[in-house]
Amino acid sequence: MTTVAVVAAIAVLIAAAAVAARAGGLGVYSLPEFYAAGKDAGFALRDIRLLHRVAREAGLANPSSLFWSQRSLDRCIEAVYARWYAEGLEDLPRNAAFLDDLFRYRKTIELSHPRVRFGIQSSRSLDLGQPLKIVIDRAGAFRSRIVENTRTHLAIAYPTGKPLPRGFSWRGKQIRVVLWRRDDAAYTFETTVSSDYLDRAAPVLQIAHVDRMERRQKRASVRAPLSAPGRVTPVRAPEEVDPTPVGAGGYRCRMVDISEDGAALYVGGRAKAGINLRIETAIDEHPVVLAGTVRTASYDRSRHLTLLHIQAEVTDLVMKNRIRAYVFGIARPGRSGSASAPAVAAPASAGAAGAAESTGDTQNTDAGSGRRSESAAHAPREGESQEPAAAP
């Protein structure tokens, strides 16, 4: 073997060793580097000591990997959370504050993923089945979805919403398209309808591609589906809400998803954006209370239900950590990690999430405009009929 070949082989072995060490497979790491990485991540010295002990207990060959590996960090969080939960120590202020630091760092890693940071530009990158809101001047907003994405055009399902005048044709109309792309952000773009195929068995519109979409309301937290009953109560000011669970009162609702800074839910009847609500539901039989403002309200005429997207805050740190554990799929005694629904994107403003599901019946109120809503969330109280009840 020539000298050049030997040198090349050694270089390959060194590179492979470096990769393996970074993956946590060799157990080779520097304790000072671990502490330096912990300080860079914003942890206090005593928390770094605890992280190091937990990393070793979790079986990480390279404890430093928890500062850049999502999987390693999850193993450490799960080890801490499961132990404190089993011992009834998760609600101690010191422990809750430490978990808060861990979950905030976990969110930072999640949101630093390239798909979240950079997004897409061209409509050619949109997926089949993507829900859309179609807005046309003097006609309102309509629901649709992508059924075909070709090199030359998008084919979308025939828009549904309020009735249009007899003889109306979409062909040649300028439209604005609004969508929320899963695990990413909200997008909007303007385009032209090139063809209107109302006479087909499955009516569609063909719209022109665009090479630059406006990206807005980038993901600011992580949310996960949550199918659970809940109760909503109109309040004067979200910041004045007592986080103590009460388990009664208010109006019934059905949760759709949840995050540390918002939720989506269904209520019976019509409701408007701009109202302030207290929300109480449960995760793994533990009550959680949120309070915030309805950003969008999407009314489904056929089911007589309104989908509310709420920008909210959880003031109780223990409850906030329970929500984070749920959306990140962190397992604890009595619940496997796979039992949690997979986390998906949550918009910086809850309004983005409702964009794709809004219809011509959507009624939005600018919560910051100072306008007072004339109706609150209508949902039947227990024991009452299924007709929408007037909110107080």
Q: Please give the pLDDT value at position 248.
A: 82
Summarised one tens digit per residue, pLDDT across range 323-351 is 999 988 886 655 544 333 334 334 443 33
Closest CA to 232 of 219, 248, 216, 256: 248
Instruction: Measure the N-to-C terminal CA separation of the chain; round to a whole number of Å.
Output: 87
Enumerate residues 6+ apart whose C-beta is below 8 A from 63: 29, 34, 51, 52, 55, 56
> What are the structure tokens assigned to 21, written together?
């060490």
How far is it, in rounded angstroms, from Cα 130 to Cα 138?
25
Q: Please give the pLDDT value at position 326.
A: 92
How far is it, in rounded angstroms, from Cα 295 to Cα 365?
8
User: Is the pLDDT assigned to residue 364 strictly greater than 50?
Assistant: no
Q: How confident is the model at residue 28 (pLDDT cuts 50, 70, 90)?
A: low
Strands 344-346 and 305-313: unpaired
How far is it, in rounded angstroms, from Cα 109 to Cα 315?
23
> What are the structure tokens assigned to 222, written together?
């992580």
Q: Please give the pLDDT value at position 257.
A: 92
The phi, psi pair for 101, rounded to 5°, reads -60, -45
Judge whether 47 and 38 are in contact, CB under 8 Å: yes
> What are the start-end ranges of the H helices in the chain?
3-22, 31-40, 45-57, 70-86, 93-111, 114-117, 317-327, 350-355
> What are the structure tokens assigned to 311, written together?
């920008």
Mean pLDDT of the chain: 77
Question: Which residue would you say has higher pLDDT here, 257 or 344?
Answer: 257
How far is it, in rounded angstroms, from Cα 53 to Cα 76?
10
- Domains contained in the chain, CATH given: 3-112 (no CATH), 123-216 (2.30.110.10), 221-369 (2.40.10.220)
Question: Which residue would you say has higher pLDDT here, 377 or 297?
Answer: 297
How far is it, in rounded angstroms, from Cα 246 to Cα 242?
10
Alpha-carbon dihedral angle through residues 300, 302, 305, 307, given to the nearest 10 degrees: -20
Alpha-carbon dihedral angle through residues 221, 225, 229, 230, given to the nearest 10 degrees: 10
- CA distances, 315 to each of 67, 242, 368 (Å): 27, 9, 21
Strands 276-283 and 251-259: unpaired
Judge whether 155 and 124 are in contact, CB under 8 Å: no
User: Is the pLDDT assigned to residue 167 strictly greater than 50?
Assistant: yes
Alpha-carbon dihedral angle through residues 318, 226, 277, 249, given to the nearest 10 degrees: -90
Average the pLDDT over 179-194 and give the result.
Answer: 86
Alpha-carbon dihedral angle through residues 31, 36, 41, 42, given to the nearest 10 degrees: 110
User: Is the pLDDT assigned to residue 293 strictly greater than 90?
Assistant: yes
Judge whether 280 and 247 are in contact, CB under 8 Å: yes
Summarised one tens digit per residue, pLDDT across range 42-100 is 788 888 888 888 888 788 888 888 888 888 888 888 888 888 888 888 889 999 998 89
The phi, psi pair for 35, rounded to 5°, reads -65, -40
